A and B are shown apart, each in its own frame.
Chain A
Amino acid sequence: MFRNALHYAIANIRSNRQVCLASIGSIAVALSFPGLFLFIFVNLNSFLSNWNREVQLMVYLKDDITQQQQVDIEALLQQSPNAEMVTFISREDAWTDFQTLFADKSGLLEELDFNPLPASFRVHFKEGPDRVDTIRGAADSTKGVPGIESIDYGEQWIASFETFLIFLKIFLVALGGILAMGVLLIISNTIKLSVYSRREEIELMLLIGANPRFIKTPFFLEGIFHGTVGAIISIGLLKLLHLYFQFNFEGTFGSMTQGIEFQFIGIFYIAMIIGASMLVGWLGSSLSVNQFLKSYQK
């Protein structure tokens, strides 16, 4: 029975080759949009988590801090959960670091005859999924302690980046939903054409006692085929884009992206795109076939 259905489905696809190609092409293009944004999302996410890995808490101290205050702050920082290492950086150390970093622009620095940098504690945190939250918590609990000038862990930057990613995620879901509807329409229309091109045969099958399931299955297979091939092509296009990025841009952004590679959307997302597209293919074809068969129910 299944072999028969497969045989019919292949015959359908062969005899409607033009329509089939047009359908698969449109599906591939339609699915490339959410694919593209998914690609962007995945990479921004990986930038963020790479960046998170390097985040550390900087606690800048007032110039007139007392010895006791400094000891208290260090103890407090050492007690914060997940803190791995607390390093003291004196004003002099900071100044030396700064000078080495900007050695080639030393002409500018020689003008300065005093040290403008504060002393600070640098706190390293252990790796973990909630690393940024842990750091945020540590920062909050140190806020307002006497002797502290300011606290910095790039929170503004991270917070706005995270918000942006949340928006991107919502956008992605919405776009995926809209385009899934589009693919549904494409497939149900293609299958409708396919059904109509065989309407005499279908009517005869009903007349002489074919099981409706036997009639429907080839069209389901056809719809699923369109969805699957369309999805695979769109993922192929995405992979080409990924390769293009890898060859042309990887490692050329200098220090900002050092050690960062362009990620391809993971196997989970690939499976999801193909799976969703198969589902939509089945749904689209069953809409058309059922509607057509219903017209024969008296």
Chain B
Amino acid sequence: MIQLYNVYKAYQSSHPVLIDISMVIREGAFVFITGPSGAGKSTLLKILFRWEKFDRGQVLVNRMNIGKIPEDRLYLLRRKIGVVFQDYKLLPNKTIFENVAFALEIMGADRKAIRYQTWEALKNVGLTHKKDAYPLQLSGGEQQRTAIARALVNRPKILLADEPTGNLDPDIASEILSLFEAANKAGTTIVLATHSQDLLRQSDHPIVTLNQGRILETQFTG
């Protein structure tokens, strides 16, 4: 599903952030990326949906050679990938329902499909009772659930999550993790970046540890 060969990335003129990273993530896998702050976890995720460019190497996502996609067709790649952002990126002037529906609206889906799929997505994260609330009226965990619902609403093949439990207390964090587990069971390939040891201990998925732009180790637990 995702293949990286010798991916090298440096932000403008600074020292490299990713150095010759290679990995293969199979369809239906659930992979953790961890490592200290500044190791390049977020950068790696951003490369996968081509929010950032990379300088050398090859990246295949869903059989697309993403280094070769022209700028005006990138949106087609991004539609195949759901992303959960660390800062949620919910629109404050839209309700929870509208925020989730937004991901379908921008693809020009028809109203009926939007209503049905949005409802389903909210149901999956247990938020239907809050559908008319605004993001700022929700707790952090609920906001994160909304963000997950939005990332999954168009049933992407791949879900990327950057520090999805960063600002949440441990109980809420494991609830959130179980949502990812459920999505994974349903067939979504998941790449989750975190430096929370708690979260890593709770699951039995492979863990890739980055350090200073290189893969330090890959653990296969469970």
Q: Which residues in A have some Cβ–Cβ distance to B below 8 Å?
A: 1, 4, 200-201, 203-212, 214, 297-298
Across-interface contacts of A208 in B (CB, < 8 A): 78-79, 83, 102-103, 106, 150-151
Are A212's CB and B72's CB within 8 A? yes
A/B interface sample: 14 pairs, CB < 8 A: A4-B105, A200-B89, A200-B91, A201-B91, A204-B89, A207-B51, A209-B78, A209-B81, A210-B107, A211-B106, A212-B72, A214-B106, A214-B108, A297-B71
**Counting chain B CB atoms within 10 Å of each CB, which of A206, A208, A210, A297 scores highest?**
A208
Give A218 Cβ to nearest chain B Cβ, in Å. Answer: 12
The reply on B186 being an interface residue by CB < 8 A is no
A298 to B80, CA, bound (A): 20
A-B pairs under 8 A by CB, number: 49
Are A209's CB and B107's CB within 8 A? yes
Are B106's CB and A209's CB within 8 A? yes
Are A4's CB and B108's CB within 8 A? yes
A206 to B81, CA, bound (A): 12
Are A205's CB and B51's CB within 8 A? no
Q: Is the interface of A mostly helix, strand, loop or mixed?
A: helix
**Counting chain A CB atoms within 10 Å of each CB, which of B52, B83, B105, B150 scores highest?**
B105
Minimal Cβ-Cβ distance residue in B for A212: B72
Q: B88-123 toward A: CB 8 Å interface, digit per residue (1/0)? A: 010100000000001101111000000000000000
Across-interface contacts of A203 in B (CB, < 8 A): 89
Instruction: Give which listed residue, A207, A211, A298, contacts B89 with CB less than 8 A.
Output: A207
Q: B54-91 toward A: CB 8 Å interface, digit per residue (1/0)? A: 00000000000000000110011111110101000101
The reply on B131 being an interface residue by CB < 8 A is no
- Given A201-B91, A207-B89, A210-B107: 18 more A-B contacts, CB < 8 Å: A4-B105, A204-B89, A205-B106, A206-B75, A207-B49, A207-B83, A208-B79, A208-B106, A208-B151, A209-B80, A209-B81, A209-B106, A211-B106, A212-B72, A212-B75, A297-B71, A298-B51, A298-B52
The reply on B53 being an interface residue by CB < 8 A is yes
Instruction: Give which listed residue, B52, B76, B91, B107, contacts A204 with CB less than 8 A.
Output: B91
Across-interface contacts of A204 in B (CB, < 8 A): 89, 91, 102
Minimal Cβ-Cβ distance residue in A for B153: A208
**Counting chain A CB atoms within 10 Å of each CB, which of B72, B75, B76, B85 scores highest?**
B75
A205 to B78, CA, bound (A): 10
A297 to B69, CA, bound (A): 13
Give A286 Cβ to nearest chain B Cβ, in Å. Answer: 14
Give A15 Cβ to nearest chain B Cβ, in Å. Answer: 9
A76 to B52, CA, bound (A): 87
Across-interface contacts of A200 in B (CB, < 8 A): 89, 91
Minimal Cβ-Cβ distance residue in B for A294: B71
Minimal Cβ-Cβ distance residue in B for A7: B105
Instruction: Give which listed residue, B72, B77, B108, contacts A1 with CB less than 8 A.
Output: B108
A118 to B77, CA, bound (A): 93
Minimal Cβ-Cβ distance residue in A for B83: A207
Across-interface contacts of B150 in A (CB, < 8 A): 208
Across-interface contacts of B76 in A (CB, < 8 A): 209
Are A210's CB and B91's CB within 8 A? no
Are A298's CB and B53's CB within 8 A? yes
Across-interface contacts of B53 in A (CB, < 8 A): 298
Are B79's CB and A209's CB within 8 A? yes
Give B1 Cβ to nearest chain A Cβ, in Å. Answer: 17
Give B121 Cβ to nearest chain A Cβ, in Å. Answer: 13
Across-interface contacts of B107 in A (CB, < 8 A): 209-210
Minimal Cβ-Cβ distance residue in A for B11: A298
A205 to B105, CA, bound (A): 10
A2 to B91, CA, bound (A): 22
Across-interface contacts of A201 in B (CB, < 8 A): 91
Across-interface contacts of A1 in B (CB, < 8 A): 108
A201 to B107, CA, bound (A): 15
Are A210's CB and B106's CB within 8 A? yes
Give B209 Cβ to nearest chain A Cβ, in Å. Answer: 26
Across-interface contacts of B81 in A (CB, < 8 A): 209
> Which residues B27-54 have CB closer than 8 A to chain A?
49, 51-53
A212 to B106, CA, bound (A): 10
Of all A-B residue pairs in the complex, the 3 with the closest CB atoms, nearest first, are A209-B78, A210-B106, A209-B79
Are A210's CB and B71's CB within 8 A? no
